[in-house]
Amino acid sequence: MIVGLEIDGAGGDPAAWRGSEVDPRAILTGELAVRAVQRAEAAGIDFATFVDALEAPDDVPDRVSVRLDALGLAARVAPLTQRIGLLPTITVTHTEPFHVQASVATLDHISGGRGGWVADVSSSAEAAAVIGRREPASAAETWREARYVVDVSRRLWDSWEDDAIIRDASTGRYVDRDKLHYVAFESPTFSVKGPSIVPRSPQGHPITAVRVNTPEALEAAGDADLVLLPESEDLPTRLAPLVVVSVVVRPHVDGVEQLVELIAEWAAAGADGVHLRPGSLELDVPVIADELIPRLRERGLVGAADRGGSLRGRLGLGRPANRYVGSGR
Amino acid sequence: MSKQIHLAAHFPGVNNTTVWADPQAGSQIEFGSFRHLAETAERGTFDFFFLAEGLRLREVKGMIHDLDVVGRPESLTVLSALAAVTTHLGLAATVNSTFNEPYELAKRLSTLDHVSGGRAAWNVVTSWDAFTGENFRRGGYLDKADRYVRAQESLRIVRKLWDSWTEDQLVLDQAAGAFAREGAGAFADEGAHFDIRGRFGLPPSPQGRPVIIQAGDSEQGREFAASDADVIFSRHGTFQAGQTFYKDVKSRLPKYGRSEESLKIMPAVTVVVADTDDEAIEKAAYIREQQVSGPTALVLAELLWGRDLSAYDPDGPLPAEDPVVGSSVTQGRVGYNDPFPIVAEWRAQAEAHGWSLRQTVINQQNRQTFIGSPTTVAEAINHHVQADAADGFVLVPHLTPSGLDEFVDRVVPLLRDRGAFRDEYAGTTLRDHLGLQA
């Protein structure tokens, strides 16, 4: 089984930040996230996701009503970890697709091939209002566009062949321009000429994940490498290369045995893994790391902790061939 | 006490000053290169580390320019990672205000300030051309005249978002269960380019506001810097031009109610250091030759002449034709408005010295700013600063990532000996290093 961990403020429980073990300032410095991801990595967890949305979190009394930009937080974590995959949530409805793909490729470069993203949309009126450029669009429209953004991102990741940088002192050429490609992409709502500004990253294509939270997202999940499926959904027959079930967990309250059984059931049902959403990072992640993962390992449900290489390698996904190789320009 | 010097490190990138063919030249992309240069700068107690931006690969005669470094990672992501491996160094990102939304910029820059403990800076640049715009939803619609209007409005709104929380709104009272006061971060703004409202989901960052850097020599650019920037990044590395620029920009500050200390003038410069002055002069000549290969000399001449010169031999004489005004043989970089006097000067110099086209380009462009022994360079830098030709410099090394090692090891100690540069960081934020009010 693949195991992922969700990073969201002090944890998924709205009151998690109030525990005496939590320094609430550490949510804002990123220290809380760094500590949780390092613990998860040491235990052998495969990837961490970072929650985000374009608009601010709900302004509700008692809740953590602030949130760091997930990409910045994941980048902050990257040099302090070595093996765990890093997938910040990035919304694509208002952000320029060219910037999105460049940022994700950059995360892959700085993490040595552990980068990815949870592609998401912004269909709320709040998100439209903070940008002030487009009317709020329906979930169907925003997800249709998101699929184009995923598509153009992959084209741009291929727009540099792996060996485009030649540094040929004899001719004075730094790059072989025949190995750089215009993507000339057109969708109903945007176009991108290309090539990317970022050379092809270690994984070729960083991992694209989609969290299924609406029927429209389920459709778009077909394009993803990794699908985060809610526990309430039935496991679809082959949706994407990898489907993991996203589970809210509080092992420091509920114990680990129940959870081991639940995960074993999902494994038997054909899920490729679980995405654990802990109630409290400070209280639950240590239990996950010290008790749950070792129990799963004993039962042969998860692999060795120190598997290295790229995130793709860790997830058992191959490195994608470049669509432009041999195409000339 | 001497006036204190400010220093910044520029990661070498997309231009022909970066010598990528040198055996010592490392990766332009791998994180290790960025880390090496940032750690060197921090060892040298520099104020900040600076990353440029590119949004479209440059073209020459309709083809991607292949002679210089091409490609780079995205700035804010690299700097957030560097925040994890440095402790004091300021982290400056060049980010375009034309192809980004103020709300997104405010959020990303505030995040960098939070996770770095107050070390973020934004170098505000503008782009309006359709060439770059082809990579973006916004396309190339923005009129050139409108670019500062949009930039100024972007900056105003970004600041408004950073200021949208009052200090007492972040409560963090765990016992009472009050994280923040309701309504914190509410904003609304309506201008020529934006009509936005909502709530900003980040409390004031350690610096209050990340540092604002601005580059630009035009009248509009100078005024924009005088009204809004904390640092101006200029091209005037020579003493005379530096003093003139310094006086001009600083004299614009009072009308915005600002003091002379509130805006630091830091030209981009190159430095060549060797054991003796003579050796440094020789080394500088060698570097210039590396920077301008025959093919690069032709491209730089094409940029000036505005025409295809591929039939010329770079080791032969200068082209006989007149330059063409307004042609665009190259895309993605600034051309010449009036090439005639420059061409005339090049011809005169080539004739006087018997220079080939390549030798002329080498000698007329790509001159290093400070050349000499460590003592000579330290004295020149200190003289520029003490005599108000600058407040400090952004150093642009010609090598990645080791290009500042020698400067930090040999010149910085001499600046410290002269009492003109810090021995250690006095504060933790970039505003502290620059001596700016929070």
Nearest CA to B161 out of B205, B120, B200 is that of B200
Whether residue A170 lies within 8 A of chain B, CB to CB, comes out as no
Q: Considering only CB atoms, which chain A residues are within 8 Å of B76?
A: 71-72, 75, 103
Mean pLDDT computed over every residue of chain A: 95
Spatial separation of the C-alpha atoms in residues A198 and A182, rounded to whole Å: 13
Rounded to a whole number of angstroms, the distance between the first and last alpha carbons of chain A is 42
Query: What's the CA gap between A259 and A252, in Å, rounded?
Result: 11
- pLDDT at position B375: 98
Mean pLDDT confidence for B115-127: 94
pLDDT in tens, B269-324: 999 999 999 999 999 999 999 999 999 999 999 989 988 999 999 999 999 999 98
How far, in Å, are A276, B52, B430 from residue B26 at the CA level? 40, 18, 28
**Cβ contacts of B202 on chain A, cutoff 8 Å:** 28, 56, 66-68
Assign A6 a pLDDT band (cuts: 50, 70, 90): very high
- Inform me whether the pLDDT recorded for A329 exceeds 60: no
Instruction: Decide if pLDDT at A117 tops 80.
Output: yes
Q: Grade residue B236 by pLDDT with cuts at 50, 70 and 90.
A: confident
CB < 8 Å to B120, chain A: none
pLDDT in tens, B6-54: 999 999 999 889 999 999 999 999 999 999 999 999 999 999 999 999 9
Residue B190 pairs in a beta bridge with B195
Q: How far is B382 from chain A (nearest CA, A)?
A: 36
Q: Mean pLDDT over residues B98-122, rounded? A: 97
Confidence of residue B438 (pLDDT cuts 50, 70, 90): low
**Residue from the list B64, B66, B198 with its beta carbon closest to the beta carbon of A55:** B198
**Does residue B219 register a pLDDT over 90?**
no
Q: pLDDT, tens digit, for every residue of A262-313?
A: 999 999 999 999 999 999 999 999 999 999 999 999 999 998 888 878 999 9
Interface residue A71 vs chain B (CB under 8 A): yes
pLDDT at A328 over 70: no
Are residues A62 and B73, on separate chains, in Cβ contact within 8 Å?
A: no
Chain A stretch 41-60, residues whose beta carbon is closer than 8 A to a beta carbon of chain B: 54-57, 59
- Which amino acid, residue B46? F
Query: What are the phi and psi torsion angles at B410 (to 5°)?
Result: -115, -35
Cβ of B293 within 8 Å of Cβ of A96? The answer is no
Distance CA A168, CA B403 (A): 21
SS (H, E, C) B199-246: ECCCCCECCECCEEEEECCCHHHHHHHHHHCCEEECCCCCHHHHHHHH
| Angle formed by the axes of helices A139-158 and A97-110, nearest 10° | 50
Q: Mean pLDDT across chain B, nearest whole number?
A: 93
- Asked if residue B142 has pLDDT above 80, the reply is no
B136 vs A contacts (CB less than 8 Å): 96, 98, 190, 192
What pLDDT, on the 0 to 100 scale, is given for residue B140? 62
Rounded-to-integer distance, Cα A119 and Cα B114, Å: 24
Size of interface A-B (CB pairs under 8 A): 224
Taking contacts as CB-CB distances below 8 angstroms, the residues of chain B near A192 are 134-136
Q: According to the model, what pLDDT value does residue B139 have?
A: 65
CB contact under 8 A, B179 and A171: no
pLDDT over 70 percentage in chain A: 99
The interface pTM score, or ipTM, of the predicted complex is 0.97
Strand A2-7 and strand A273-278: pairing?
A: parallel
Span A75-95, average pLDDT: 97
**Encoded tokens for B206:** 């350690």
Tell me if A54 and B104 make a contact (CB, 8 A cut-off).
Answer: yes
Short-list B348, B313, B307, CA closest to B330: B307
Residue A21 has pLDDT above 80, yes or no: yes
Structure tokens belonging to residue B153: 């409005």
DSSP A20-55: TT--THHHHHSHHHHHHHHHHHHHT--EEEE---SS
**Considering only alpha carbons, which residue of chain A is nearest residue B67?**
A173
